[in-house]
Structure 1
């Protein structure tokens, strides 16, 4: 069960739609593949800076990636 059940994300779906692997997205924003994996699985809540980098890399808004339940 995710450690932060109050936060949902669509990172995996958006990343897949962009045709990117976890490793490619990680490299694009300067983090490890494991970081991307833990964010996608709700284990890790990213910092504001990381969330903004994810949104930029996926050409979307932070609000399109993350939302409160």
Structure 2
């Protein structure tokens, strides 16, 4: 399995895109599931529960810019 970390700028881009198209968006680092959506979807809560990791609401602009989100690639 290869992993590529998504940067804070990647997160901001994807979060902005999700708002533009009207979809929910969340991202995981190794220990936490993050969402910038005030209206947290059932599926985001469910994923947090199933993965047994904490769910944190944080506005995208206030996130730590050093946060990286691993992206697994199962090729």
Query: TM-score, length-normalised on structure 2?
Result: 0.29
Which structure features the higher share of strand residues?
2
Query: TM-score, length-normalised on structure 1?
Result: 0.30
Which structure features the higher share of helix residues?
1
